[in-house]
Structure formats: C-alpha cells, structure tokens
Chains A and B, each alone.
Chain A
Amino acid sequence: EIVLTQSPATLSLSPGERATLSCRASQSVGSQLIWYQQKPGQAPRLLIYDASTRATGIPARFSGSGSGTDFTLTIGGLEPEDFATYYCQQRLRWPITFGGGTKVEIK
C-alpha cells in the first residue's frame, strides 16, 4: 500500500498569505497525484489532478507541483473561502489511498 504523508497537519495563516502544503508518498506515484479541498459538513471538491492540472472552475491561485514522491499544493494569496482541509490522493496503485490532510486555519 502506498502511504501518503501530508505536512504540516495544521497551517495557521492570515488572508492574503501564501500557503504551501506538502504530500510525500512512500514510493513513486509518478504524476498520479490528486488534491481535494473539504470544508466542514461538505463533500470533498476536486482541485488538482495529474499533480498539476487544475480542475474546471478552480481559481489560478491554486497550483500543484511535484512528481515521484514529493508534491506541493500552493495557494497564492489566501481568500476567506480557502480556509479548509486539503487532502492528497494517489491513483497509481490499488488500494487508492489518501493523505491524512492539512487543515489551513485562520491565524
């Protein structure tokens, strides 16, 4: 099973600041890495697939990078609606696995 480790667990930032979230895989997943955003009481929302491709309707301030085992989600200038929990997911091998999440909270 491919284990995804997200860091930090919590990120405390102010609106307008840049957020950098990390996802590390226990073995290479190539570029088959996906990012989701989840707000309390809501289902996850697809943000990024194939490590760096934004899903339809996702603002340009969200960007993904990385390949192999190290991946980064960057939010360039936090808007109030961006404070949420973010999860990475790999689709290379069964079982599909998710990281433990990074909560981006208001400082």
Chain B
Amino acid sequence: EVQLLESGGGLVQPGGSLRLSCVDSGFTFSSYVMAWVRQAPGKGLEWVSSITSGGDYTFYPDSVKGRFTVSRDNSQNTLYLQLSSLRAEDTATYYCARRGVGVAFDYWGPGALVTVSS
C-alpha cells in the first residue's frame, strides 16, 4: 500500500526556518517525481515545488523561489522541503504528493501544518 507521511510542521516566527520531511513506503520511491503542494487555511491548493526522481532537477513557482528548497534521499525514501525567510502568508498545510499516473498527483500525504506567527 502506498503511504506518504509528512512531519516537521509547527509554529515558527516570521523570518524563521523549518524543514518538512515526507517518508514514503509501498512504492519504488526513487522512480517517481515528487512534489509539495500547500493549502492556506480555508483557501485553495498551491503547488510549491517538484523534484525529479534522481533529484537532479527542481522546480518552484516565483512565490517561493529562493526561499524554499526541495530535496530527497532515495536511500531513505524521504522527501524534504526546507522553508526559509518565512512569511505570514506561508501559513498553510503542506502536502507531499507523488506524481504518478497521468502525470497527476496520484497519492498524497495527510499534510503538515506550518504556522508563521510571532
């Protein structure tokens, strides 16, 4: 059974940093593009990063480019998202997702809540 589980969320002050992890099981992690998608409270979905299967290429929207860094450890089946220079508008539930069938996000974790507040 495919499972993705995020951890590392919490309360952080504006300007601070945080690292999210997503441990995956039930599939060959190293074969898949992985991504992070976030959702602010009561709002819609926003893609925040993708990383190729080998970790060679990463992609970000302008809203987080230069502040967020996605990485992966294929030996540990783990995806990471380093969040830096955090702002109040980065407050959201962060989901990790597998890019699978149809080049769509076919499996998602339950999410990790990041709250940026003083």
Contact = CB atoms under 8 A, between A and B. Distances in A.
A91 B104 contact: yes
A71 B35 CA distance: 24
Contacts of B60: 95
A96 B47 contact: yes
Interface residue range, chain A? 20 to 34
Interface stretch (A12-20, A21-29, A72-80, A97-105): A97-105
A90 B103 CA distance: 10
Interface in B8-37: 35, 37
Most buried by B among A43, A46, A55, A99: A43
A87 B44 contact: yes
A98 B102 contact: no
B104 A101 contact: no
Contacts, number: 62
Contacts of B62: 95
Interface residues of B, number: 22
A94 B46 CA distance: 13
Interface of A is mostly: loop
Interface string B47-62: 1001000000001111
Contacts of A100: 44
A34 B37 CA distance: 15
Interface in A8-51: 32, 34, 36, 38, 42-46, 49-50
Contacts of A50: 102
Interface of A: 32, 34, 36, 38, 42-46, 49-50, 53, 55-56, 87, 89, 91, 94-101
